[in-house]
Amino acid sequence: MERIKISLPDNFKFSTVIKVRITDLNYGGHVGNDSFLALVHEARMQFLNNFGYSELKLENTSLIMFDAAIEFKKELNYGDEVKISVAANGFDTRGFDIFYKMEIINRDAPVLAAKAKTGMLCYDYNNKKLTGVPEKVKETLI
């Protein structure tokens, strides 16, 4: 079976800490794959907001996700504090990738819980078409 392997960038411009809620748990008693993606989504929103952006307000355009990948390393449990580091990379004319390093905070050293990547395209929701990446966005996020 072929496995997803995500190569993370060396540098991250932003990080946030999110505490795992009881509603993030699945029937197995740990954070489900859908909740991992929800944590990634929250980290992305905080990342964009840190630079004065949102998914619907990115200079003169918006963002739409066109793919997502998660490489699970360790399960997350109720009450875990997760540091999620975020970086934008791989810019082309229409979009870019956002990378996430998810680490459980503990006394000894952070424990890698997951690596993730979302592919983001610039999108005009009113006209339902792709747009170009504004140069200022690239300069700001890199």
- Specify the CATH number for the domain of residue 41: 3.10.129.10
Whether residue 6 is contained in a domain is answered as no
Q: Is residue 76 part of a domain?
A: yes
Residues 55-81: pLDDT tens digits?
A: 999 999 999 999 999 999 999 999 999
Q: How many domains does the chain have?
A: 1
Q: Is residue 1, in this structure, part of any structural domain at all?
A: no
Model confidence, pTM: 0.94
Mean pLDDT value across residues 10-26:
95
Q: Range of 114's domain?
A: 14-141
What is the rounded distance in angstroms from the CA atom of residue 131 to the CA atom of residue 60? 9
Q: Is residue 22 part of a domain?
A: yes
Query: Measuring CA to CA, how many Å separate 63 from each of 27, 44, 124?
Result: 33, 11, 8
pLDDT at residue number 39:
96
